[in-house]
Amino acid sequence: MSAKKSPKIQKDHSAELTAVHKPSKEFSKKARIPSMAAYEKLYKHSIDKPEKFWASEAKELTWQKPFSKVLDWKAPDAKWFVGGKINVAENCVDRHALGSRANKAAIIWEGEPGDKRTITYAQLHREVCKFANVLLARGVKSKDRVLIYMPMIPEAAVAMLACARIGAVHNVVFGGFASEAILDRLEDSGATAIVTADGGWRRGKVVALKPTVDEALKKYGKVTNIFVVNRTGNDVSMKSGRDHWWHEEMENASAKHEPKGFDSEHPLFILYTSGSTGKPKGILHTSGGYLTGTYATCKYIFDMRDEDVYWCTADVGWITGHSYIVYGPMANGVTQVMYEGAPNQPDFGRFWKMIEEHRVTIFYTAPTAIRAFIKAGDEFPDKHDLSSLRLLGSVGEPINPEAWHWYYNKIGGGNCPIVDTWWQTETGAILISPIPGATPCIPGTATRPFFGIDVAILDDEGKECPPEVQGRLVIRKPWPSMTRTIYGDKARFKKTYFADYPGLYTAGDGAKRDKKGNFWIIGRLDDVLNVSGHRLGTAEIESALVAHPAVAESAAVGRPHDLKGQAVAVFVSLKLGYEASPELESELRNHVGKVIGAIAKPDDIHFTPALPKTRSGKIIRRLLKELVTTGTISGNVTTLEDMSVIDHLKSLLAK
Ligand code: WT7
């Protein structure tokens, strides 16, 4: 641990920290939406006539056959741009490659060790066409599921776009997930092909990927083709007939491929996210609506222009990487930076060095990263010229005022608006965010809804909460990039998102609205943690723990954490014959890492002979959460079956 004090994150709400920051006149003058009045006017139009608004955005894309109807809505089923035929990859690549942006950089990439590549739209077009032909030659067809497990290299985007191009459905699995997580996703999606790499670089080391895929495939037999990018040169075994080197396949592939138009509602991808059960949900997104949503939000919220150099630091394994690295930015034909590795490799100056070198103008990252940078010290950004930046973005969790101000002043030089963007894997695109030339920014609030998005905060009875009163965040009108279903589980889809209030989408977040109409997101209302901006289900962690032979029962809860936002605390009671020990503790931690992935490893493990339960045997997580947050329990404990459990836990935590 460094001697430096970690930043205070939780409570400071002094006037200085919640000051209102209006965009500069200079920014507003050039922006698409130059004032609050312009925002209000377009917002009103978009809510009065949402179909008109969305149709005009959709028409900026290339359709092979125009849509005949904008929306078919029978909650919870949405069909957008009915009758239209579109090829998503054609919109992201061909439009630019076969037009005036042919020689414009699409991707400026840096590998963690320092290797660099710049890929123009014309080159990207060649690569995508070739890989589309590779997939077709190996028998991958429209609607087949293709699992993608890749490091952050351009081939990840090429693979996604090639799938989109031929109508195959990709399922990107974050490269930090473990083999069992891959297996779950293979089984649930029924994937028949995999695109991966031998490994990727992370924190100066090779993270093996293909061997992790092989491990998963010991229990899944439906994969007939694996395409392997040679990235790191680590040892991998290749099964003849099934496993193919990417470079060998690409060498002989034709660079000619005509993009076929698919139905607007053709499935584009499945992306798994944690929910309140042990089984992650396969969020399904479709083509025309998803592309319209990501395209329009990039245009208005990131104010993307031809001269911009945009950088989103997310991984393609998360929805942010899908919507705001691959589809939205590329539909806008922007130049973007892509980076393979860790932010502190070789040191915490890496991002700032890259911003300086590539003259990045728009930078999109997460509060958890900002807090890590604050902790690392100002000397890192101070060494670099960050004056190319004009707009900053934040995503994943509410941004605390301290982080906001550091980001605004240290990185933005006090003159870049910060768009605090609220959205979810399910929403596909940003739904609540400042519009940078218009909306005054206030640290901690995502401010106002995007065009066409009808947000409300409701109480348990379904009545709208008055200002400053917390309730449930709902979306009252359908929007084009909304998820269409949980893959293979329509019933769970309805129950999760459309059952609380008939016909309305429930986000699962608590929120309140202030008197000016700004939305303040409080956090998840379900048993889902937000660790470093990533969703983790408590049930997932618990089911991983009870799969260990020593564990009888377990309960996972979140506790506040300076850097990660939330840390994972678990309570474990052991089976007879097992005893708590530091060795067992680290074994359990690694066990969770092996089952889910390193991000899910518990921060604290508390061994306890019993868990607090109701008389009917339900674990009362609320008490455990209070205990790890405050060290004590003040709430109602009358439902508790055995009071002595609490006293025991209190003394355990006091140690
Ligand atoms: C959950 C969605 C959206 C991409 C990254 C995470 C929280 C997200 C914000 C924000 C407050 C936020 C919510 C949401 N969240 N952005 N700007 N302010 N909270 O996607 O894994 O689907 O998680 O992240 O709780 O429900 P995800």
Q: What is the pLDDT of residue 16?
A: 60
Out of 365, 397, 407, mutate this one to test ligand 1's pocket (max ligand atoms within 8 Å of CB): namely: 397
Using the atom order of ligand 1, give the atom closest to the CA of residue 446: 17
Using the atom order of ligand 1, give the atom closest to the CA of residue 426: 22
Q: How far is CA 465 from the centre of its chain?
A: 29
Nearest CA to ligand 1 atom 1: 424
Ligand 1: distance of its center to the CA of 409 in Å? 24
- 396 CB less than 6 Å from ligand 1? yes
The burial of 536, by beta-carbon neighbours within 10 Å (0-12 exposed, 13-18 middle, 19 or more buried), is given as buried
Per-residue confidence band for 88, with pLDDT thresholds at 50, 70 and 90: very high
Ligand 1: distance of its center to the CA of 80 in Å? 24
Q: Does the domain formed by 528-654 have CATH 3.90.1150.10?
A: no
pLDDT tops 60 at residue 648: yes
- 324 CB less than 6 Å from ligand 1? no
366 token code pair: 């997460």
Nearest CA to ligand 1 atom 5: 396
Which helix (H) or strand (E) is 544 found in, with range?
helix 538-546
22 token code pair: 């209006």
When comparing pLDDT for 441 and 642, which is higher?
441
Query: CA geometry: angle at 548 spanning 596 and 604, to 5°?
Result: 65
642 token code pair: 């055995």
Per-residue confidence band for 149, with pLDDT thresholds at 50, 70 and 90: very high
Nearest CA to ligand 1 atom 24: 396
**Mean pLDDT over the full length of the chain:** 95
Ligand 1: distance of its center to the CA of 209 in Å? 27
Distances (CA, A) of 358 to 38, 303, 337, 379: 33, 19, 8, 20
Task: Please give the Cα distance from 206 to 198 (Å, whole number).
Answer: 9
Mean pLDDT of the 23-32 span: 96
Q: What is the pLDDT of residue 1?
A: 36
CB 212 within 8 A of CB 181: no
Phi, psi of 317 (to 5 degrees): -70, -10
- 474 CB less than 6 Å from ligand 1? no
Ligand 1: distance of its center to the CA of 262 in Å? 30
Q: What is the pLDDT of residue 14?
A: 58
146: three-class secondary structure by DSSP? strand
Using the atom order of ligand 1, give the atom closest to the CA of residue 433: 17
- 320 CB less than 6 Å from ligand 1? yes
Task: Please give the Cα distance from 236 to 382 (Å, whole number).
Answer: 42
- 530 CB less than 6 Å from ligand 1? yes
Looking at the DSSP assignment, which residues form a beta bridge with residue 52? none
Task: Please give the Cα distance from 349 to 376 (Å, whole number).
Answer: 9
Q: What is the pLDDT of residue 654?
A: 79
Where along the chain do its domains lie? Answer: 19-525, 528-654
- 425 CB less than 6 Å from ligand 1? yes
CB 393 within 8 A of CB 363: yes
Mean pLDDT of the 162-186 span: 97
Mean pLDDT of the 629-641 span: 80
- 281 CB less than 6 Å from ligand 1? no
pLDDT tops 70 at residue 7: no
pTM: 0.94
In eight-state DSSP terms, residue 166 is H
- 364 CB less than 6 Å from ligand 1? no
Q: What is the pLDDT of residue 635?
A: 72
* Residue entry with tokens 């990927």: 209
CATH class, 19-525 region: alpha beta
Using the atom order of ligand 1, give the atom closest to the CA of residue 430: 3
Q: How far is CA 497 from the centre of its chain?
A: 18
Phi, psi of 255 (to 5 degrees): -90, 10
Which helix (H) or strand (E) is 585 found in, with range?
helix 582-595
- 403 CB less than 6 Å from ligand 1? no
Bridge pairing between strands 335-339 and 309-312: parallel
Report the candidate in 360, 356, 359, 345 with the shortest Cα–Cα distance to residue 311.
Answer: 360
Out of 297, 325, 407, 424, mutate this one to test ligand 1's pocket (max ligand atoms within 8 Å of CB): namely: 424
Q: What is the pLDDT of residue 379?
A: 97
Residue 53 one-letter amino acid: F
Strands (E), 279-430: 281-286, 309-312, 335-339, 362-365, 391-395, 418-421
Mean pLDDT of the 392-399 span: 96
- 420 CB less than 6 Å from ligand 1? yes
Mean pLDDT of the 516-526 span: 94
* Residue entry with tokens 């990252």: 365
Looking at the DSSP assignment, which residues form a beta bridge with residue 421? 395
Question: Poorest-confidence range of 167-176, 187-196, 425-434, 613-622?
Answer: 613-622
